[in-house]
Amino acid sequence: MVFRVFRPEAVSVWKNEEIFKRFSKYRGILDGKLLARYLVAKSVKCDFNLSDPVEKLESLLKEKSLEFNKLLNKDSNNLKNRVVQEINYITLAETIAIKYLQACMFCERQCKANRMSGEKGFCLISKDSYVSSAFLHMGEEPLLIPSGTIFFQGCNFGCVFCQNYDISQAWKGKKKIEDVAQKVNTLQLASITEKLVDKGAINVNYVGGDPIPNIHTIVGSLKFQKSNICQLWNSNFFLTDKSLSLIIDFMDFWLPDFKYGNNECGKKYSGIDNYFDVVARNHKRIHDEGSGEICIRHLVMPNHIECCTKPILDYVAKELPKAVMNIMGQYRPQYKAFNYEEINRSPTSEEMHEVKMYAQKLGIVFEPLS
């Protein structure tokens, strides 16, 4: 048992029974009663060859996922005594990730770039990962701070209103990536996470840009991480189903965006095909098959209540009943948003009121985190 003093802003949120129930596993890790999932995964032995075809490894991954999930249901004290295996479930996922890099399909853009040989797809990240900054973030939701946040350079989206455009978009074609971020391998990334833990982080928060182009480095770093700390995926969530399989069992907490309630707005403002179909599918999967501990961030956009916000709230109420939402009103036109009249302002207080009334009527839990 770890005696942890929570920050004042978190204390009142933890007193909310619904939050405590919905995030009980995250709280169990914070209190030292439960093991982070990646530590359990290291005890799942795998037997394979690097030269095995990817289809064979994918089928082994499915088997190991079942074995891992059976283990998780066991008494947590038994889990603490399990031995780390040299070749384990994490090694297997990393091996598959590296194979996927030869024709990249980490996200649904499916560029098929051979990143292993130096080609780049839309995100402009080759096989190497780059961290633009890593620090204790105090601006996340109260339950998550201080959050050991690692910002990866590069993004698979092209949002016209991007609020992190310096690390996701603006450098493209203008600067060398080496000039704006630090190259990291799996060992160096693990070392960054451990330093954040030493400074007082209560979770490791992978964000960007977006973490998706860096799945191979993040999964690989888990081999070297040692702390019993919550692993948190903070992303636009436009992964392929196959790449979600590489991380679904290792993440304890999910912090996905849910931006658009239809495919058309995703195409118009982020240059993405099939936005809603893909992101809704992935939310459903982490809700039903992953840890299920999810805080969905929805940034309310002006003039997009009927086409985006309400369909998202309807979907969450119907399909993701265990999720908690952070309904955010801080949208400001940034980057290229000034070119789109309908989103060239903040949402009004009337729009925010309408959204919150609608969410309340649907029974969505959002107030403690919004």
- Site of interaction with ligand SF4 (CB under 6 A): 104-107, 109-111, 113, 121-123, 156, 212-213
H helix or E strand, kind and range, residue 294: none
Q: Residue 359: what residue type?
A: A
Nearer to ligand SF4, 60 or 123 (CB): 123
Shortest distance in whole angstroms from residue 210 CB to ligand SF4: 8
At how many degrees (to 10) do helices 54-72 and 89-100 cross? 150
Q: Residue 231: what residue type?
A: Q
Shortest distance in whole angstroms from residue 300 CB to ligand SF4: 27
What is the Cβ-side half-sphere exposure of residue 1, based on CA atoms within 13 angstroms? 2
Nearer to ligand SF4, 142 or 154 (CB): 154
Shortest distance in whole angstroms from residue 215 CB to ligand SF4: 8
Shortest distance in whole angstroms from residue 156 CB to ligand SF4: 4
Residue with tokens 């961030």, as numbered in its chain: 297
Kindly list the strands in the beta sheet with 129-137, ordered across the sheet, starting from the edge strand earlier in the chain: 182-184, 129-137, 147-152, 203-208, 230-235, 253-256
Give the Cα separation of 224 and 207 in Å (integer): 19
Number of Cβ within a 10 Å radius of residue 24: 12
Nearer to ligand SF4, 111 or 327 (CB): 111
Nearer to ligand SF4, 43 or 236 (CB): 236
Q: Which residue has the closest beta carbon to ligand SF4?
A: 121
- For 80, the token pair is 């603490």
Shortest distance in whole angstroms from residue 115 CB to ligand SF4: 6
Nearer to ligand SF4, 25 or 109 (CB): 109
